[in-house]
């Protein structure tokens, strides 16, 4: 129930921001401003995060609220193991990846993140999935996020830690480490193994 309320509050905040961008009626703008402030106060109440820290994360002020994009590089080795990196942020594990950067295509983001976080040179080969984070039983987040999973082929065998990672390694499906669930879930990792085994071939979405 709390996750449901959390997402509805974020939706109210997004509608308020859109209204402030496109409405020129002073009375409507006052109401959108009030809705915006109420949504921030409600987020503060259910998360215990101060309003001044919430605002920079969720308020783009770009006119129309759109989802953020998280790109993940899916890499397997010859032993049918998947590449995971240990995040310094929570000491848990995830597929290499992160927020999409302006000026980079999704495949370029995957290549860049894989090298920066795991020291591995790769090239992208296939789109596997585009998933709505809200529908993936993942921990709630201030941002509304689409997650893109791209299959990558390794170009060498060199792996090393990066500035945001404390370890990197290869793991089989039956021996996964503790995962960083804001970044990926067990179900998502298992989905990637299904693609690797050829059990799934077409990209999945939503």
pLDDT for the residue numbered 58:
65
- Quote the domain boundaries for residue 160: 68-205
User: pLDDT of 20-49, one tens digit each?
Assistant: 888 889 889 999 999 989 988 888 888 888
Whether residues 27 and 120 fall in one domain: no
Whether residues 196 and 139 fall in one domain: yes
User: pLDDT of 65-110, one tens digit each?
Assistant: 789 999 999 999 999 999 999 999 999 999 999 999 878 999 999 9
Whether residues 85 and 176 fall in one domain: yes
Whether residues 53 and 73 fall in one domain: no
* Contact (CB, 8 A) for 63 and 79: no
> Where is the domain boundary, 10, 33, 58?
58
Query: What phi, psi does 122 have (nearest 5°)?
Result: -140, 170
Whether residues 131 and 177 fall in one domain: yes
Whether residues 84 and 183 fall in one domain: yes
Q: Which two tokens stand for residue 70?
A: 């998280």
Whether residues 128 and 43 fall in one domain: no
Answering whether pTM is above 0.85, one says: no
Q: What is the DSSP string of 65-120?
A: ---EEEEEEEEB-TTS-EEEEEETTTS-EE-SEEEPPTT--HHHHHHHHHHHHH--
Residue 128 lies in a domain: yes
β 82-87/93-94 pair status = antiparallel
* 3: pLDDT strictly greater than 80: no
Whether residues 75 and 54 fall in one domain: no
C-alpha distance across the termini of the chain, in Å: 21
Residue 93 lies in a domain: yes
Whether residues 18 and 84 fall in one domain: no
For residue 149, the surrounding DSSP H or E stretch is: strand 145-154
pLDDT for the residue numbered 100:
93
Residue 63 lies in a domain: no
Residue 34 lies in a domain: yes
pLDDT band of residue 19 (cuts 50, 70, 90) is confident
- More confident of the two residues 176 and 40: 176
pLDDT for the residue numbered 155:
97
The closest of 189, 185, 193, 92 to 134, measured between CA atoms, is 185
β 145-154/68-75 pair status = parallel
How far does Cα 117 stand from its chain's mean position?
A: 15
* Contact (CB, 8 A) for 112 and 71: no
How would you classify residue 103: left for phi > 0, otherwise alpha for psi between -120 and 50, otherwise beta? left
Residue 144 lies in a domain: yes
* 54: pLDDT strictly greater than 80: no
* 146: pLDDT strictly greater than 80: yes
Whether residues 44 and 127 fall in one domain: no
Whether residues 11 and 74 fall in one domain: no
Which CATH number covers residue 189?
3.90.79.10
Whether residues 94 and 52 fall in one domain: no
Quote the number of domains for the chain. 2
């Amino acid at each position: 129930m709390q996750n449901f309320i959390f997402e509805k509050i974020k939706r109210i905040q997004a509608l308020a921001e859109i209204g402030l961008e496109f409405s020129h009626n002073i009375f409507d703008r006052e109401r959108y401003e009030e809705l915006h402030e109420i949504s921030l106060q409600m987020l503060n109440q259910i998360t215990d995060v101060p309003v001044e820290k919430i605002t920079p994360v969720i308020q783009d002020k770009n006119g129309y609220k759109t989802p953020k994009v998280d790109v993940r590089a899916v890499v397997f080795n010859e032993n049918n193991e998947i590449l995971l990196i240990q995040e310094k942020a929570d000491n848990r594990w995830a597929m290499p990846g992160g927020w999409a950067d302006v000026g980079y295509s999704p495949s370029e983001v995957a290549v860049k993140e894989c090298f920066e976080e795991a020291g591995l040179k790769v090239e992208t080969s296939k789109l596997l999935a585009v998933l709505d984070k809200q529908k993936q039983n993942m921990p709630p987040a201030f941002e509304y996020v689409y997650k893109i999973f791209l299959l990558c082929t390794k170009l060498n065998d060199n792996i090393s830690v990066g500035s945001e990672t404390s370890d990197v390694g290869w793991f089989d499906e039956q021996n996964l480490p503790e995962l960083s669930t804001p970044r990926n879930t067990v179900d998502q990792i298992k989905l990637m193994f299904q693609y690797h085994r050829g059990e799934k071939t077409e990209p999945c979405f939503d």
